[in-house]
Amino acid sequence: MTSSASFVAVAADGADTSVGGGESRSKQREFRVVVPAIEKAFRSNEEEREKRIEEAHEMLEPLEKELQNKLFFGGDKIGFVDIVGLVLPGWMHASEEAAGFELLTTHKFPNLNKWIQDYMNHSVAKEVLPQKDFLVAFLNKVVFGRNN
């Protein structure tokens, strides 16, 4: 089993992994809309950056609200929706560092930032996710065309 597959298997153990419920599917759709908005913000030039950040913030707000009083989207354990949303904890802060601006401010998104921190501190996530320094170097080279 690959590292990612083992992460999914271990993280889902005992968690709500149903994909048939409308609520779970709607959260999955939220992530499908959020990721392109975040990517546009990080790839934007200075002229359009504020507009793109605002668009990304609008997409992130429902996820922020969903996490009120919860450790993970699945409750106390990592669930299917948390796994679907893995791109946020895995890449967000590295993308912010590489792009040179903060998109997910603690002031505006305290629940999402706590979720990212809790997710990244999970023992299995620590084992399988790339280190932030590696991701920053990758983003600088591949996405932003810089060699630093």
Are 73 and 67 contacting, i.e. CB atoms less than 8 angstroms apart?
yes
**75 SS3 class:** strand
Tell me whether residue 84 is in a domain: yes
Provide the pLDDT for residue 90.
82
Quick one: average pLDDT of 82-89?
84
Assign 42 to helix, strand or coil: helix
Mean pLDDT (whole number) for 22-42: 75
SS3 category, 112: helix
Question: What's the pTM value of the predicted model, to 2 decimals?
Answer: 0.76
Number of domains observed in the structure of the chain: 1
Mean pLDDT over 82-98 rounds to 89
Q: Which domain, by its residues, includes 135?
A: 22-143
Domain membership of residue 65 (yes or no) is yes
> Is residue 13 domain-resident?
no
pLDDT at residue 83, as a whole number: 86
Is 16's pLDDT higher than 80? no
18: pLDDT confidence band, cut at 50, 70 and 90?
A: very low
Is 82 within a domain?
A: yes
Residue 3 lies in a domain: no
Domain with residue 100: its CATH number is 1.20.1050.10
